[in-house]
Structure 1
Amino acid sequence: MSAYAALTTAGYRACTRDKTTLFFTFAFPLVFLVVFGLIFHGQTVEESGRPYINYIAPGVLSWGIGNAAVFSVGFTLMQWRRDDVLRLIRMTPTPLSAILASRYVLAIGIGAVQAVLFVSVSLLPVFGLQPAGRWPLVLPVLVIGITAFLAIGVIVGSSASTPEAVAAVANCLMVPMAFLSGSFFPLDSMPAWMQNLSYVLPLRYLNDGISGALTGDGTTGDIALSCAVLAGFAVVLCVIAARTFRWSDKS
């Protein structure tokens, strides 16, 4: 078995055996979808006239996927570095690319399951989401978005030295970003300064891309633009992640 396959298998087993992690990865974000979906059931946004579910479903899905990517790789790298697992791996022929690729594949798999789960719940009559014909374009948006947020997770995991630090830094990044990017409330109803600030946040473009593909809110060109901006974020963040990565707390 190759190093990549071994790391991927070990990561999968660790994820499925940790019930707490499974809950916060899948069930916890779904709670937000259910709560906001029930609160705003049957209501529309005054500024656009579109149902609230068209904003809530893509927004919460984007936040849940980004959150899972950041936290999963952040905690893993911090723990492996603290326990000298990374130092031991470095002493073998295993390249860094195999380590990161194994986490990347796991993040893509988790994101795909999250997307199916969220959309399935949103399609229930009580929520009433009606997907557009471009919904298959959700997949490339998810892949590019996960790449960007996985890089953020690598930066967090390489900088923090304790689980508490990882949680604090990741939450300080992801929670404000969720509100400022329109994951929980439509940006159309937010102040102008908040709408302008959202343009420098990657979650804004993940929201827009998924919303455009899933609900038809925007053209194919708009989805392509969101993917292009996300790809730009991913490149910059991957460069920063490569420069900040540490094999041990002593290096």
Structure 2
Amino acid sequence: MNGLGTLSQILLRGYLRDKASLFFTLAFPLLFLVLLGGLFGGADTAPQVKVAVVGPVDVLDALTDGQRAQIGQVLAITRTTDLAAALDQVRSGDETAAIVQQGTQVQVHYSAADPSSAATVRSVVESLVQGANLAATGQPPRFTVSVTTVQDASVKQIQYLTPGILGWAIATGATFGAASTLVVWRQRRLTQRLALSPVGVPAVVGARILVSLGLALAQTLLFLGIAAAFFDLQLTGAWWLAIPLVLASTLAFLSVGLLAGATTRSVEAGNAVCNIVVIPMAFLSGSFVPLSFAPDWLQAASLVLPLRQFNEGVLDVLSRGGGIGDVVVPLAVLLGFAAVLTTVAVRLIRREAD
């Protein structure tokens, strides 16, 4: 334990003295948060007005192909027969509104968190109802519109940006830090010396892990504090569940860096490998833009990425009022990912040291 503590202190002091590392690990991601939070902090994340139509709705079913094409430019309509499921989608922010017909009444259940999109849905439905009533000239109105609000858990852009950029920052710091440290130590033959010393390779890896966990917690506090103080980030009651996700994701990204450092011979090569992994993963995991833009197959495939699991888990507990059940799967995936890659990396380090 003394060796582990000494190595951790050495790594931390070296990191704090390296101004470039401090900038790119802490300041640079915060610049992204400030920039994007200032630009889009009050905007909604939905790229289009999504509507679930439950069962038959006469005013929509009677439209001609040309009319449907016009409506399709405004509303992205999906069909379902399950009203309860449709309302759940509105609550989760996956749909802006749910439309159902009860007798001659067309009911619009919309999200209170997105008033502009809800107004669009309401105006379209009311226009269709008025057109249907005018077609029945000389008769009482055939249809009426009922509008109700659904309590909603969709998020404003700052609620989405904070977990995404935080995840990217943690991934960048842990991955690049682990890779560069191992490469430098291998170039200076420190790994062989440490392997022969009472400290051993496990202490080397453990020291890197302890320092990275501490830095990740510091990043989290900075991000949440700045987003809450300046961009009105609203934390839910279970926001603290983001902490185990931060720790687990740090271990997962560290394992990527350890593997990159164990398989490359120079800092430049290690950084290149990290870039190849982290940058595409950030976009495929929805760190910067919602994955609703992506095709369904890509959204499903990205679930295997540790950064996607982190983003979804933190978004649920930080912004959507989620609880322990929402972090179980992300934690399992992150810890399993970390265990596998760390085991491989340690074996490679031991082999070279021997």
Name the structure, 1 or 2, with higher relative contact order (CA <8 Å, separation 6+): 1
Q: Could you tell me the TM-score, scaled by structure 1's length?
A: 0.93
Pairing 1:86–2:194 present: no
Query: For the Cα contact (< 8 Å) 2:45–2:157, is it kept in 1?
Result: yes
The one-character-per-residue Cα deviations of 1:176-200 (angstroms, maximum 9, x if unpaired) are 0000001111123333233122112
Q: Which letter does structure 2 place at the counterpart of 1:23?
A: F
Aligned counterpart, 2:306: 202
Seq. identity, %:
38
Aligned counterpart, 1:157: 261
Structure-2 separation of matches of 1:237 and 1:102: 17
Query: For the Cα contact (< 8 Å) 2:180–2:267, is it kept in 1?
Result: yes
Per-residue deviation, 1:28: 0.8
Q: Which letter does structure 2 place at the counterpart of 1:124?
A: A
Q: Quickly say closer, same or farther: Cα 1:77–1:130, change in 2 above 3 A.
A: same
Structure with a larger share of its residues in strand: 2
Aligned counterpart, 1:21: 21
The one-character-per-residue Cα deviations of 1:18-67 (angstroms, maximum 9, x if unpaired) are 11110001011111112221221211122635211111100100111111
Larger Rg: 2
Query: For the Cα contact (< 8 Å) 1:90–1:247, is it kept in 2?
Result: no
The one-character-per-residue Cα deviations of 1:193-247 (angstroms, maximum 9, x if unpaired) are 3312211211101111222222135443121221112122122222222233257
Q: Which runs of 4+ in 1 moved over 6 A?
A: none
Query: For the Cα contact (< 8 Å) 1:58–1:207, is it kept in 2?
Result: yes
Query: For the Cα contact (< 8 Å) 1:74–1:158, is it kept in 2?
Result: yes
Q: Quickly say closer, same or farther: Cα 1:144–1:137, change in 2 above 3 A.
A: same
Aligned counterpart, 1:228: 332
Structure-2 separation of matches of 1:104 and 1:246: 17
The one-character-per-residue Cα deviations of 1:65-115 (angstroms, maximum 9, x if unpaired) are 111111111100000001111112122121211111111110011001000
Once structures 1 and 2 are overlaid, which stretch shifts more, 56-65 or 42-51?
Answer: 42-51
Aligned counterpart, 1:70: 175
Give the 5 Å matches for 1:92-103.
Answer: 92-103=197-208
Give the 5 Å matches for 1:46-195.
Answer: 46=46, 48=93, 49-125=154-230, 127-195=231-299
Query: For the Cα contact (< 8 Å) 1:134–1:216, is it kept in 2?
Result: no
Query: For the Cα contact (< 8 Å) 2:316–2:326, is it kept in 1?
Result: yes
Query: For the Cα contact (< 8 Å) 1:133–1:216, is it kept in 2?
Result: no
CA RMSD of aligned residues (A): 1.8
Query: For the Cα contact (< 8 Å) 1:158–1:246, is it kept in 2?
Result: no
Give ranges in structure 2 of 5+ residues lacking alignment: 51-92, 94-153
**How many aligned positions are there?**
249
